[in-house]
Amino acid sequence: MTTTPKPKFKNPRAKFNYQGRPCSISGVGSYVPERILSNAELEKLVETSDEWITTRTGIKERRLAAPGEFTSDLGAKAALKAIQRAGIKPEQIDLIIVATITPDMPFPSTAALIQAKIGATRAAAFDLEAACSGFIYALEIGQQFIMSRTYETVLVIGAEKLSSIVDWEDRNTCVLFGDGAGAVVLQNRPNTHGLLTAVMGADGTKADLLFMAGGGSRCPATTESVASRMHYLRMEGKETFKNAVQAMQTAAEEALRRCELDITRIKRIIPHQANRRIIDAVGDRLGAKPEQMFVNVHKYGNTSAASVAIALDEAVESGSIQRGDLILLVVFGAGLTWGAAVIEW
């Protein structure tokens, strides 16, 4: 008589015969600090004008975190809203991913700090750095854990306190950025496709277009590095602009192509909110109608990894996205990095 040999170990991943499942956004939330910094106030800080900022960028105002308010505070507030809207408890969260370039500290991760602040006691936590593209990178990574059935509930947050790395003496950059956070809860929702595809890309040969030189292993903080203002972000505006338009168009078209979708089938396009002119140029190149583009850059400026997450929350809140709609997110940032995602909402 032959007996089946006892397996030497168990492979937990075999439980569902390696079959994947779709991943949906079951809740979205955002938070921006109360303090509004208007273009008129910036006129008092640097040689600029409301007229210049408005015509070149479309930005009218941005938010500033309070002195004792950090990226983890903004992220935690956005997360709690997303958790409440998803109808879950913080203890249900298996994993927290925070996309940010302005972590509270180099380590521990801002994700770990948020884990403690929201009481997500069971959750693993880590940060991800893909600059302004971070939210789509984090969405795609979080999606993998749901699809593979490794986890049931993943919290993805984009949170930034960019006011802490903006050079308030540099008119080329200080008018562009703001603080804020957005968050989504990822889960499997039966009978919904959720995230259909996500394109991610990078080109490190153009890293010098947008960077912060100080504070890393190449240039740790010294009195000299501080004196030469290396702990502030620097940007080559014109080149960044051109690359942004091109990369966002290419990424969006690739995402649509993969889903065999025409732009007319997309209810709402939520682009990274860096500059109104970039948004308009990307919309034009994609052949989108102006009413398809969701825009809130006038209120918040560029909030980097938080940008599309905040815009997504506002689009849902305002009713411009309904369950069942197809939406397209498209981002661009330092690295260079870019990304696009198609979602059945």
Ligand X SMILES: CC(C)(COP(=O)(O)OP(=O)(O)OC[C@H]1O[C@@H](n2cnc3c(N)ncnc32)[C@H](O)[C@@H]1OP(=O)(O)O)[C@@H](O)C(=O)NCCC(=O)NCCS
Residues that bind ligand X (CB under 6 A): 48, 52-53, 56-57, 132, 171-172, 175, 235, 237-238, 240-241, 244, 274-275, 278, 302, 332-333
List 39, 174, 243, 272, catalytic entry: 272
Q: Which residue among 132, 174, 243, 275 is the active-site one? A: 132
- The answer to whether 272 is a known catalytic residue is yes
The 8-class DSSP code of residue 302 comes to B
Active site residue 302: yes
Q: Which residue is nearest to ligand X (CB)?
A: 237
Shortest gap between Cβ of 175 and ligand X (angstroms)? Answer: 4
Residue 239 makes CB contacts below 8 A (sequence gap 6+) with: 206, 209
Task: Compare residues 152 and 236 and give the one whose CB is closer to ligand X.
Answer: 236
Q: Are 231 and 162 in contact (CB under 8 A)?
A: no
User: Would residue 132 show up in a list of annotated catalytic residues for this protein?
Assistant: yes
b/e 226-257 (16+ beta carbons within 10 angstroms → b): eeeebbbbbbeeeebbebbbebbbbbbbebbe
Q: Where are the alpha helices (DSSP H) in 1-160?
A: 39-45, 50-57, 71-86, 110-118, 134-147
Q: For ligand X, which is the closer residue by CB, 190 or 204?
A: 204
> How near is the Cβ of 198 to ligand X at its closest, in Å?
18
Count other C-beta atoms under 10 Å from residue 322's C-beta.
Answer: 10
Is the preceding peptide bond at 108 cis, omega within 30 degrees of 0?
yes
Question: Of these residues, 39, 243, 275, 302, which one is catalytic?
Answer: 302
CB nearer to ligand X: pick between 77 and 276:
276
Q: Give min distance, CB of 292 to ligand X, in A.
A: 21
Q: How far apart are CA 274 and CA 276, in angstroms?
A: 7
Show the tokens assigned to 100.
């940010």
Cβ distance to ligand X smaller for residue 249 or 302: 302
Shortest distance, position 235 Cβ to ligand X, whole Å: 6
Q: Return the active site residues.
A: 132, 272, 302
